[in-house]
């Protein structure tokens, strides 16, 4: 059995919804011992976007694989004392509660470091500390709006539009995971932990940084361009047979050689040598004509036929896959990125695995835990509690 990259690293996971769980799921995929600690009624992500009352939501199952699950009432003195005892032997604590929530529980980063100077206390927040928005609460779409993403997304003649979810939540979670990994390495030298903070707003701005170039050029806000790209043509989606809602491909050309190859394939080779079309920036002035020419060709073919023809000829081209097609995509399946899991109540379901591949530390994806599934295992291992102790804690509402 191969060792895991983060084997021996224990993470106490106080996260909820998406931003925090996406961080701790990555750490679990990399081999950390992640203990997801939830209130006795469960964290709100367990019922988020639920399709079936009384069952864990797919939202939760997709964000909490490979974790141990326990319940604990941190608002009770006994529950807080149990958590503090676990902190003493932990490496990392991760939370994404509202502003000031951990401090109100008496579990802020300074309190945690008094319990364990080696602890790495990581927080995912909407806007972070130290600015005028620090006390504001945030979700995915709030952060997208405040980071400029919505102002750059949508049709040129339409309103600001939210991008697909995850840009702020999972983006912030993965940035936090990077910070935790860096802190673990630095602790090997210093011997002490530190506080890590990632704001959703900061994370989205970081991911959109190249789009700020428009403001550098002319001092104006970056515009909305729809599916077209700035300074390049062709770069757009093109309709394909049988003309369903997702029967499109995206084509983006970067070089003169690609342009010449494309014009040959679509039956207009004379344009490949036309100096007016030699540079992708020059082609922008003919973008409508070019798009019409390409779509006249793609409309005679399916999106997969178009992709196989163009991508096979060295032209960047991708079929627009819907969510069902993604889960059954032969490439993702063959690479082992989409795996099949079994849930005791939900039954079998496909799950995207770890996108980070380490040759010496393969990821084995395990389904998300049921509520309190590992109470006996974790509290027995870390605190020495037996069945009688757990029964008493349950009666008292501590777990």
**Residues tagged active-site:** 169
φ and ψ at residue 207, rounded to 5 degrees: -70, -25
d(CA 154, CA 176): 29
Handedness of CA 23, 25, 30, 32 (dihedral sign): positive
Q: Which strands make up the sheet holding 248-252, listed edge to edge?
A: 235-239, 248-252, 317-319
On the 0-12 / 13-18 / 19+ scale of CB atoms within 10 A, 220 is exposed
Cα 175 to its chain centre, rounded Å, is 10
Nearest residue to 161 (alpha-carbon basis) of 114, 223, 219: 223
Q: Which residues contact 284 (CB under 8 A, 6 or more apart)?
A: 231, 232, 233
| Spatial separation of the C-alpha atoms in residues 174 and 124, rounded to whole Å | 10
Classify residue 68 by its DSSP letter: E
C-alpha angle 276-219-232 in degrees, rounded to nearest 5: 25
Contact 210, 147 (CB under 8 A): no
- Write the DSSP assignment of 132-198 as a string of letters: TTTT----HHHHHHHTTTGGGSS-TTS---PPPTTTTHHHHHHHHHHHHHHHHHHHHHHS---EEEE
| Cα angle 24-4-116, degrees, rounded to a multiple of 5 | 55
Residue with tokens 């196989």: 308
Nearest to 18 by CA among 75, 67, 64, 86: 64
Which residues have C-beta within 8 Å of that of residue 94, sequence separation ≥ 6? 11, 12, 13, 14, 15, 20, 23, 24, 27, 122, 123, 124, 176, 180
The residue among 78, 98, 124, 143 whose CA lies nearest residue 383 is 78
Q: Three-state secondary structure along 313-363?
A: CCCCEEECCCHHHHHHCHHHHHCCCEEEEEECCCEEEEEECCCCCCCCCCC
């Amino acid at each position: 059995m191969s060792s895991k990259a983060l084997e021996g690293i224990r993470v106490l996971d106080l996260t909820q919804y998406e931003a925090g769980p996406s961080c701790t799921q990555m750490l679990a995929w990399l081999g950390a011992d992640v203990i997801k600690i939830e209130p006795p009624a469960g964290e709100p992500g367990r019922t988020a976007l639920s399709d079936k009352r009384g069952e864990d939501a797919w939202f939760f199952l997709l964000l909490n694989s490979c974790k141990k699950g326990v319940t604990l009432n941190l608002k009770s003195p006994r529950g807080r004392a149990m958590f503090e005892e676990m902190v003493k032997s932990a490496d990392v604590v991760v939370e994404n509660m509202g502003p000031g929530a951990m401090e109100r529980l008496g579990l802020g980063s300074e309190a945690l470091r008094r319990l364990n100077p080696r602890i790495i206390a990581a927080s995912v927040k909407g806007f972070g500390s130290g600015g005028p928005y620090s006390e504001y609460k945030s979700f995915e779409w709030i952060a997208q709006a405040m980071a400029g993403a919505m102002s750059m997304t949508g049709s040129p003649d339409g309103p600001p539009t939210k991008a697909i979810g995850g840009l702020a939540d999972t983006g912030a979670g993965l940035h936090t995971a990077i910070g935790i990994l860096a802190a673990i390495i630095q602790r090997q030298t210093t011997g002490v932990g530190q506080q890590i903070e990632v704001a959703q707003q900061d994370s989205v701005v970081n991911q959109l940084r190249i789009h700020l170039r428009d403001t550098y050029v002319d001092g104006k806000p970056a515009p909305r361009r729809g599916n077209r790209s700035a300074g390049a043509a062709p770069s757009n989606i093109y309709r394909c047979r049988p003309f369903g809602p997702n029967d499109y491909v995206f084509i983006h050309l970067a070089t003169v050689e690609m342009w010449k190859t494309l014009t040959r394939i679509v039956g207009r080779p004379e344009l490949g040598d036309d100096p007016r079309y030699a540079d992708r920036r020059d082609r922008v002035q003919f973008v409508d004509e070019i798009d019409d020419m390409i779509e006249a060709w793609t409309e005679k073919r399916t999106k997969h036929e178009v992709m196989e023809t163009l991508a096979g000829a060295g032209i960047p081209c991708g079929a627009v896959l819907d969510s069902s097609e993604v889960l059954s995509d032969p490439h993702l399946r063959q690479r082992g990125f989409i795996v099949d899991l079994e849930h005791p109540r939900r039954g079998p379901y496909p799950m995207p695995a770890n996108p980070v591949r380490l040759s010496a530390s393969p990821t084995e994806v395990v389904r998300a835990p049921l509520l309190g599934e590992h109470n006996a295992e974790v509290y027995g291992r870390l605190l020495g509690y037996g069945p009688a102790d757990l029964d008493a804690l349950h009666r008292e509402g501590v777990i």
